């Protein structure tokens, strides 16, 4: 049920963005901090490999997504029902992965619409005699990405710190 709910919410939010915001647009939800945008990500998380100009790019990401989804389903299936601390985050990751896979299947890329930034600032610093510029912005993301991130962090905390919630004990 979690997976379906996440998938539906993710696709509804993306549909709303595509229907109401021109590609590349930006609207300040919380000025100087959160913008609603309409960006497209042809790559992986945070735009990795988005510059890969090959007709194989979509096939590659589609295949990687299918393998990841299969692994998540098997892991979820083998996890005892009592281990909610593992099963719930797996469902969150699975719902997000399927949501982004649906985007790739329908649009050929992923719709991102939340942009976090700090006053559009750029920090300048020197390191080993070279000047660097760091833009205080987090790459645009979507509801599916949020579920994947929360699910991964939840799994890490659960498994690294031995935090398990089980019924009856």
**Residue 112 is a catalytic residue:** yes
**Residue 103 is a catalytic residue:** no
CA distance 53 to 56: 8
Q: Which residue has the tokens 């719902």?
A: 95
Which of the residues 10, 35, 103, 112 is marked catalytic?
112
Strand partners for 111:
40
CA distance 60 to 49: 11
Closest Cα partner for 1 from 82, 72, 91?
91
153: DSSP letter: H
CA distance 41 to 2: 25
Catalytic residues: 112, 145
């Amino acid at each position: 049920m979690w997976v379906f709910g996440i998938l539906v919410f993710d696709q509804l939010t993306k549909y709303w963005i595509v229907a109401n915001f021109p590609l590349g647009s930006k609207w300040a939800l919380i000025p100087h901090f959160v913008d609603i945008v309409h960006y497209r990500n042809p790559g992986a998380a945070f735009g990795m490999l988005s510059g890969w100009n090959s007709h194989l790019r979509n096939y590659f990401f589609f295949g990687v997504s299918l393998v990841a989804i299969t692994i998540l389903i098997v892991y979820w299936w083998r996890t005892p029902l009592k281990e909610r601390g593992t099963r719930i985050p797996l469902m969150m990751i699975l719902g997000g992965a399927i949501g982004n896979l649906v985007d790739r299947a329908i649009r050929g890329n992923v719709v991102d619409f939340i942009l976090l930034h700090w006053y559009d600032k750029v920090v300048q610093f020197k390191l080993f005699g070279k000047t660097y510029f760091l833009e205080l912005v987090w790459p645009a993301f979507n509801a599916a990405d949020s579920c994947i991130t929360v699910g991964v962090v939840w799994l890490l905390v659960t498994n690294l710190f031995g935090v398990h919630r089980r019924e009856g004990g």
